[in-house]
Structure 1
Amino acid sequence: MKVPALAAAVVALGIGMATPAQADGFDNHFSPEACEKSQAASDFKYAIYYNSDFGGAYRNIGYSVWDFADERIGGAPQGGTQPLNFCHGGNGNGQGIKNNAASVKNKHSTYYAVTYYNSGYKGSANWTTPRTGHNLTVVKNENASFAWQTL
């Protein structure tokens, strides 16, 4: 889904950027919600899939991710990278999420799940409306970050 004109203006002005509870990346990496629970059972509201049509490996994500290839735990710079990887079995299991995703689900009832082309919530994006899922079209296999957004 392309970004609606109003949403583009909102993002450009930095208005309505409220997000669900913020975290420092720790939960996205280590919470049982991410890799030990199924997408249906997880309290995390965003799931990103390796294949189209919600196929292959996936990961549940609860909080916005600045860079799928290097999500800093605690927000401080650290040596090396800390990538988020697909962790539920299937095609793509263990692969890095950055530039490898083809579909997403948004279980949130209020927020849009926005999957961006560039790190830092920048560039072209696929907006996923609350309580829906779809194949990525704009950023398929070219995805670098994710954020919760409101209109």
Structure 2
Amino acid sequence: MNLKKTLAVTATAIGLGMSIITPAHASTGEENQESPDACMKSQSASVFKYAIYFNSNYGGAYRNVGYPVYDFADERVGGSPQAGTQPLLFCHGGSGNNQGIKNNAASVRNKHSTYYAVTYYNSGYKGSSDWATPNSSRNLSQAYNQNASFNWSSL
């Protein structure tokens, strides 16, 4: 990530009162969309530390996510506008397979040992949210079937 982009991300996070993680957590959308880790059948083998599920109690289809997602309905590869939207989809069979994640999730797993995983009601890391502590799993309550974005937090 270049210095100008790093400073812009930091300024935005500070302005929003968010804890900045590290530039390594920034994404162009490509990692979440195209990485083999996103749809690995073995979640424990995935390097991605956040998993989001279609059903409560970690059931149905899921997707591993490694980087913040500004809008689950439009995770753009390269980060720039392109024709149409690029939604993140659930994978691996079960109910919800190949459906969009936005407004369809019921539970999450945070496999990170340090950071909280925050699932937001609105796009852009806004609105009500559900916080999953490090190394925990939970059913969504504030963002149950109304989830639109995800980010990491050090608080």
2:114 and 2:60 map into 1 onto residues whose CA distance is 27
Shift of 1:36: 3.0
Query: Once the two structures are aligned, what percentage of the paired residues are identical?
Result: 66
For residue 54 of structure 1, the aligned residue among 48, 52, 58 is 58
Question: Counterpart in 2 of 1:111?
Answer: 115
Q: Do the aligned partners of residues 36 and 13 (structure 1) sit closer, same or farther apart at CA in structure 2, a change above 3 Å counting? A: closer
Greater fraction helix = 2
1:78 and 1:13 map into 2 onto residues whose CA distance is 27
- Per-residue CA deviation, residues 14-67 of structure 1 (Å, 9 max, x unaligned), is 252224522211010111100134212111000000000000000000000000
Q: Give the aligned residue type for 2:98.
A: G
Contact 2:18 2:153 in 1 (8 A): no
Question: Counterpart in 2 of 1:14?
Answer: 17
Q: Give the aligned residue type for 1:125.
A: S
Secondary structure, counterpart of 2:45 in structure 1: coil
Q: Do the aligned partners of residues 124 and 12 (structure 1) sit closer, same or farther apart at CA in structure 2, a change above 3 Å counting? A: farther
Question: Counterpart in 2 of 1:127?
Answer: 131
Q: Do the aligned partners of residues 14 and 35 (structure 1) sit closer, same or farther apart at CA in structure 2, a change above 3 Å counting? A: same
- Structure 2 spans left out of the alignment, 5+ residues: 1-12
1:138 matched to 2:142? The reply is yes
Runs of 4+ with deviation above 3 angstroms: 10-13
TM-score scaled by length of structure 1: 0.89
Secondary structure, counterpart of 1:88 in structure 2: coil
Higher RCO structure, 1 or 2 (CA under 8 Å, sep 6+):
1
Computed over aligned residues only, the root mean square deviation of the Cα atoms, in angstroms, reads 1.7
Question: Counterpart in 2 of 1:4?
Answer: none
1:83 matched to 2:91? The reply is no
Query: Aligned residue pairs: how many?
Result: 142
Question: Counterpart in 2 of 1:33?
Answer: 37
